[in-house]
Copies of this chain bind each other. A is one copy, B any other.
Amino acid sequence: MKEKRKSAGLPPGSVVFTGSQKVEKISIHYLQYDADFLDEKNYDNHAKITFHQSAPERIDWYDIRGLHDTQLIEAIGKTFNVHTLVLEDIVDVDQRPKFEEYEKGIFIIIRALAFDKVNEVITTEQVGIYFRKGLVLTFQETESDLFELARQRVQRGRGRIRTRGADYLVYALLDVIVDNYFLVLEEVDDVIESLESELLQHTDNSIRERMHHLKIALLAARKSIAPLREAISRFAKSENELIEDSSTVFIRDLYDHTIQIMDLVESHRDTLNGLQDLHLSEISFRMNQVMQVLTIITTIFVPLSFLAGMYGMNFDNMPELHYKYGYFILVSFMFLLAGGLLFWFRTKKWL
């Protein structure tokens, strides 16, 4: 969140990039298609692009990766007549997922998740999707090709994707990101399982911290997913003419997936809470055991040591010291005493 509020206090609609620059060069991928036609271009130097929209029966998809050049964003916005509040949100990279209908188009924010296995944290990246009839604009923070699977489907012409409108393409893009959530949560699940098995073997100092960080990570994931559920629900229920009736059943299916993911997140959180409770009672239990050992040793030897101390005293008149078998009697008594105490501990179930 650290970089966020560069824009604090600026007038609304100010296009200010609030993230930290994650890519050196902005790259733009362009795809134009209809059922029979496919054109694809990759621009590393965006100065050369002429943004345009082709005939409305075709679909133009610009995939912009890298958001730090706000002039470019503003230029795109101008070309395609996008509301300035949308442009502001695209480059303000700590937005909650949302679904917003504007007069001329629909704007969706979604957050892509990734699991960093080394630090066991979940990283998120904001993805902005703007579409209208025949045009889809996607804005990513990084170079990673989040939409690869969807793009391949377009390229291969598999499935319905080539014959449907922009709304179906947007659905497919969202679907790819939401499907990825399952993979991230599976990795979280693996970590939770490894934590559980470690927990039952030893109380390593680091387990606590790992559980704490995983919990924070799940909180972050939940913060991305909960509003997404709502946004996709509004997508499914929207009566906007940009969304064809035949797409609704698919968006509803996507909505089911987000519910399923929320369930998973909640159940991971519950499991993690259970582990923390288990961990705490594990520590308590071990402390108890340590205390028992201490108590047993002390309780046996302190009285014996006292007896030994007694007969180490230097009083002139200590008759026992002069008994012929005094020493042996005492040692025998000590054995009896220790044995009696051990027996008592056994009845108390401390041994």
A residues near B (Cβ < 8 Å) are 1-2, 4-5, 7-13, 83, 85, 94-96, 98, 149, 153, 158-161, 172, 175-176, 179-180, 182-183, 185-186, 189, 200, 202-203, 205, 208-209, 212, 215-216, 219-220, 223, 227, 249-250, 253, 256, 259-260, 263-264, 267, 270-271, 274-288, 290-295, 297-299, 301-306, 308-318, 320-327, 330-331, 349-350
Task: Return chain B residues, CB-CB under 8 Å to A271.
Answer: 216, 219
Complex-state Cα separation, A283 to B263, whole angstroms: 33
The residue of chain B having its C-beta at the shortest distance from the C-beta of A282 within the complex is: B208
Complex-state Cα separation, A299 to B285, whole angstroms: 19
10 nearest A-B pairs in the assembled complex, by CB-CB distance:
A308-B309, A11-B159, A9-B149, A311-B313, A315-B327, A294-B295, A312-B312, A8-B179, A301-B302, A305-B306
Task: Return chain B residues, CB-CB under 8 Å to A13.
Answer: 159
Complex-state Cα separation, A154 to B302, whole angstroms: 78
Known: A315-B311, A318-B327. A186 touches B4 (CB 8 A): yes
The residue of chain B having its C-beta at the shortest distance from the C-beta of A8 within the complex is: B179
Task: Return chain B residues, CB-CB under 8 Å to A9.
Answer: 149, 176, 179-180
Complex-state Cα separation, A105 to B314, whole angstroms: 99
**Interface pair B295/A293, CB less than 8 Å apart:** yes
Complex-state Cα separation, A277 to B284, whole angstroms: 13
Q: Give the Cβ gap from A329 to chain B, nearest Cβ, in Å.
A: 10
**Interface pair B259/A96, CB less than 8 Å apart:** yes
Contact of A306 among B94, B301, B321 (CB under 8 A): B301
**Interface pair B11/A264, CB less than 8 Å apart:** no
Task: Return chain B residues, CB-CB under 8 Å to A186.
Answer: 1-2, 4-5
The residue of chain B having its C-beta at the shortest distance from the C-beta of A175 within the complex is: B12
Contact of A327 among B203, B294, B313 (CB under 8 A): B313
Task: Return chain B residues, CB-CB under 8 Å to A7.
Answer: 179
